[in-house]
Chain A
Amino acid sequence: MTTQGIQEIPHDRQQLERVTVRFAGDSGDGMQLVGGLFASEAAWMGNDLGTLPDFPAEVRAPSGTVAAVSGFQIQIGASTVHTPGEESDVLVAMNPAALRAGLKSLRLGGVVLFNTSSLSERSLQKAGLSPEDLDAMRRHHQVIDVEMSRLCQLAVADTGLTKAQAERCKNFFALGLLSWMLHRDISPTVRWIQSKFAKKPAFADANVKALEAGYRCGENAELAAALPLYHVPEAAMAPGRYANLTGNQAMVYGLMAAACRSKRPIFLGSYPITPATDILHEMIRLRQDGVTVFQAEDEIAAVCSAIGASYSGQIGVTSTSGPGFTLKQEALGLAVMTELPLVVLDIARAGPSTGMPTKTEQSDLLQALHGRHGEAPVFVLAASSPADCFAVAYEAVRLALTYMTPVVVLSDSYLANGSEPFRIPAAEELPAITVALHQDATAFLPYGRDPVTLARPWAVPGTRGLEHRIGGLEKEENTGKVSHDPANHEAMMRLRAAKIHKAAASLPPVQVMGDPQAPVLLVGWGSTLGAITEAREQLQQDGIAVAQVHLTHLNPLPPNLEKVLRSYERVIVPEVNSGQLAAILRERFLIPTIGFNRIQGLPLRARDIHAFVLRTMEESQHVHA
């Protein structure tokens, strides 16, 4: 579809630059579904957006309890949206438990669309709320009571659905009402319902009726008085075709794009683990498009099968999260020693051990850099937004194939599940990946090297005349024979390190965002890009000059990074860990870094970074005074 652009803005509506909405309901209430459809409506109206689901930790917690609440947050904007929003402006709450859970992130005075059909003594009790609690909520927020279930039942009465089936349409009723309130066109949702339920016309009919009833009910007299009406104008998005992708989806498409451009097939060996499993799901969906997916018996088999596939000439990929990454580390050493391409996707979560599996954290950076026995250097990259996962996965394959070495890609559950508009590139826009399987048997040296990249030849089984042996034992340079020679070992250790470090020169330099003359530099990596950018922009609006760089390449570091770091009085490093990048920069460049660290399993918030920068600047003024 092509976005419709914005028609005239009704004068009775308040125009907003941004708005953040949170859908909250029981896990069975279809909140993720209507959240996603609301995103499509906003995209269709030309907004930029970011979304983030908030799944319950248990598969089926008792319904009606706070543990069973499934949330979906979305920020839409008339200009670039950096995050799925921090505090929400509007909460859609389908029951008391959802109300209680959702209020935690609703701003003071925010609007609640509350399904009062769900109110009963029992439902309040399950949510752990008293009637007095409800009253208090009403004092602090604009709670708008809507008998969603009852009105929905009325709307779909003539569709032939049972009462229970009709009840299940209430999420569409809620979406209709929200769409009216925010002035979003419901036609993309109508089309989606009609195609989704093409074979079940009664359901299609009922869901459309529920949606439309919700939309119209905003105009009804009682409600109209209380309901604030908003409008968010379209954003200036670059022209092109867009799709709303989660980080995990974008990762998969990035890998597929790299397979296409390098003309090497992709092999994914994986074992289910939260929050990386969707990569496995998405890949298996694409198996007819040319990808081999192997669900292994464990994390170790997953990476080992990928190494085997790489040895056989495919792009071996394995996807995992922190605990699984730890299990794969020995095999990563093998891939370093045998100099085979390999891409390891670590979709990090809060650790250590099982930790908080559905919560986000940036705590695997040091594991990625140094987690192996021996000294086994690998490329390390980090994605900085859901859409950026595409580019980073692509870059990982490029590096793995160009340098014949493993590459670790860091993402996290915040990026993995979050989504944003992804501008679909044309194949020609993607950088070339030139790689050829070795064929020439004359004077073949398994550990001979390309003088520029230091890559050894990719000589795969089945190629006549290239029979050779590789393995985890130290290799003799050129011949690849097993060697215990001390001088050779040192040469090979230095060579493996040089392979990575030499590549730095060919990497893009970091770009300074914001005011390059500012005294303070914010240095981030990975999923904090949105929050740091928002904080920096806010500071600039407040008249405080701040510079910002964000790292994609963490090993090797970009060639100009040291020079950039040395140009600022204060270097602040915000991270969702206890200071891993801050320590690396200190160690590498001998410059003082100031960590801003939160380890709560939550993404950083722009306003916390904002406050920290202000505090740091004040303190330094005291010191200077």
Chain B
Amino acid sequence: MSTLEEYAAAAAPAPLTREDLLPEGEVKWCPGCGNYGILTAFQKVLPGLGLPREQFVFVSGIGCSSRFPYYINTFGFHTIHGRAPAVATGIKLANPELSVWVITGDGDALSIGGNHFIHALRRNMDLKIILFNNRIYGLTKGQYSPTSQFGVTTKTSPLGVPDYPFSPVRLALAAGATLVARTFDADQNHLQATLAAVAQHKGAAFVEVWQNCPVFNDGVFDDIIGKSFRQEKVVYLQEGEPLRFGQDKGQVLIANGRGMQAVPWEQATPDTVIRHDPDHADATVAFMLADMEEQGLPVPMGILRRVRKPSYDEIMADQGAPAGSVPDISALLGRLEGWTIAER
């Protein structure tokens, strides 16, 4: 090193760029798969977070979505079916400094991995769990998943799916996630804004990303997010704003005493209009938002709920268990109640 500047330049790495995150090999999702858009959003969002590349860990289970870690040049762990939240928990607890993201799918998170999913959220584990929901098993070529809608025909439901689907956001809210959001693959801006907000959250964050699988479940969300429907069928959640949608935002969702109801914007009164407040401690409205699709109301996209409470690693630190320290065995054994046999 010849000068101090050079030394400083070498010590402080160049800021992370999109190019740094590009995969070493080929991305092997099917052409047109919604996963590509999600990958792009990550490549755009991560550089803006101010963290060096080595601090990011992407952990996944099994399924099309779970190939994600191979396609982003950070630390990555492609684990086994359903278990990514459990592996991610160990990674996070062993090094709480890391930014740990779980990439999962509807089958991986909600079927085989349901238990780990709910418990990671319940513990407020500081993980960002991103569920690519395409409502089908893609990698095994087209069987129904726990989010496939009742009655649809798939390879394993020729007479229609006989079971009722999970609502991922409702499940996440009920399990205690401290951030719950929904977005979709076709809206790059919204996707990026959502991921950026999630990145800032401390605690268990959950994002459901509606993702199109053009091969086995093409257009499954089209009647809501399709270009010609979106305006009428989607409410973009904006902090402090009423829940307006429709042409010229002419419609609004109001509280009607039992739930929500859509009315023309002119009919809304200050008493009935709901201004979106994701940070509200009370989860009642968040549950109502999560329920809207089932009620046939427009589907909310954005952050449904975001509250701050101590995360598991913070609680551990509070309880005085320092992550990463090494025991002093002499002191430890010295404390054992015991006796001494003297030399004879």
A residues sitting closer than 8 Å to B (CB atoms) are: 1-3, 5, 40, 43-44, 46, 236-245, 253, 256-257, 259-261, 263-267, 269, 286-294, 296-298, 300-302, 304-314, 316, 330-331, 333-334, 338, 424-427, 430, 460-473, 481-482
Chain B residues with CB below 8 A from A425, complex form: 333
CA distance A364 to B246 in the complex (A): 64
A-B contact count (CB 8 A): 235
Contact (Cβ within 8 A) A311 B91: yes
* A5 (CB) vs chain B CBs: closest residue: B342
Q: Chain A contacts of B115 at CB under 8 A?
A: 297-298, 301
B85 nearest in chain A by CB position:
A301
Residue of chain A at shortest CB distance from B312: A294
Docked-complex contact A424 and B78, CB < 8 angstroms: no
The answer to whether B54 and A464 have CB atoms under 8 Å apart is yes
Assess A314 versus B324: contact at CB under 8 Å? Given A267-B93, A334-B79, A424-B338.
Answer: yes
Verify if B87 is at the interface (C-beta below 8 Å from A): yes
B: contact size bracket = 35 or more
Is the CB–CB distance between A469 and B338 below 8 Å? no
- Contact check: which of B77, B320, B326 meets A470 at CB < 8 Å? B77
Chain B positions within 8 Å of A, measured between CB atoms, are 13, 24-25, 52-55, 57, 59-60, 62, 69-70, 73-80, 83, 85-95, 97-98, 115-116, 119, 316, 319-333, 336-344
Query: Which chain A residues lie closer than 8 Å to B333 at the CB level?
Result: 243, 253, 257, 424-425
Known pairs A292-B94, A469-B77; A427 contacts B330 (CB<8 A): yes
Residues on the A chain within 8 Å of B13, using CB: 464
Knowing that A267-B93, A316-B90 touch, tell me 11 more A-B residue pairs with CB under 8 angstroms. A260-B326, A260-B328, A265-B326, A297-B86, A305-B93, A308-B59, A424-B333, A467-B73, A467-B76, A469-B77, A472-B62
Once A292-B321, A313-B95, A427-B329 are accepted as A-B contacts, the answer to whether A471 and B77 lie under 8 Å apart by CB is yes
Contact B54 A309 (CB under 8 A): no
Which residue of chain A has its CB nearest to the CB of B75?
A461
Q: Are the CB atoms of A242 and B341 closer together than 8 Å?
A: yes
Q: Is the CB of A426 within 8 A of B330?
A: yes
Residues in chain A near residue B116, CB distance under 8 A: 297, 300-301, 304
Inter-chain contacts of A316 with B (CB < 8 A): 90
Determine the distance from Cα of A238 to Cα of B343 in the docked complex, in whole angstroms: 8
Q: Is B78's CB under 8 angstroms from A473's CB?
A: yes
Instruction: Give the distance to chain B from A466, nearest Cβ to Cβ, in Å.
Output: 7
Once the chains bind, are A289 and B87 in contact (CB under 8 Å)? no
B86 & A304 in contact (Cβ 8 Å cutoff) = yes
> CA–CA, A156 to B326, complex, Å?
48
3 closest A-B pairs by beta carbon, nearest first, are: A308-B90, A471-B78, A312-B94
The contact of B83 among A241, A301, A424, by CB within 8 Å, is A301
Instruction: Please name all residues of chain B whose beta carbon is closer than 8 Å to the beta carbon of A290 when the two chains form the complex.
Output: 322, 325-328
Contact A461-B93, Cβ < 8 Å, known A297-B115, A311-B77: no
Task: Point out the residue from A257, A287, A308, A466 that lies within 8 Å of B94, measured CB to CB.
Answer: A308
Residues in chain B near residue A300, CB distance under 8 A: 83, 86, 116
Q: Which of A312, A313, A330, A465 has the most CB of B within 10 A?
A: A312
Q: Flag if B57 contacts A461 (CB, 8 Å).
A: yes
A267 touches B119 (CB 8 A): no
State whether B93 touches A292 (Cβ < 8 A). yes
Complex CA gap A306/B88 in Å reads: 10
Across the interface, do A241 and B79 meet the contact criterion of CB distance under 8 Å? no
Contacts of A333 in B (CB 8 A): 80
Known: A467-B53, A471-B77. A287 touches B24 (CB 8 A): no
Residues in B neighbouring A265, C-beta threshold 8 A: 94, 323-326
A312 vs B94: C-alpha distance in the bound complex, in angstroms?
6
Q: Closest approach, in angstroms, between the C-beta of A499 and any C-beta of chain B? A: 21
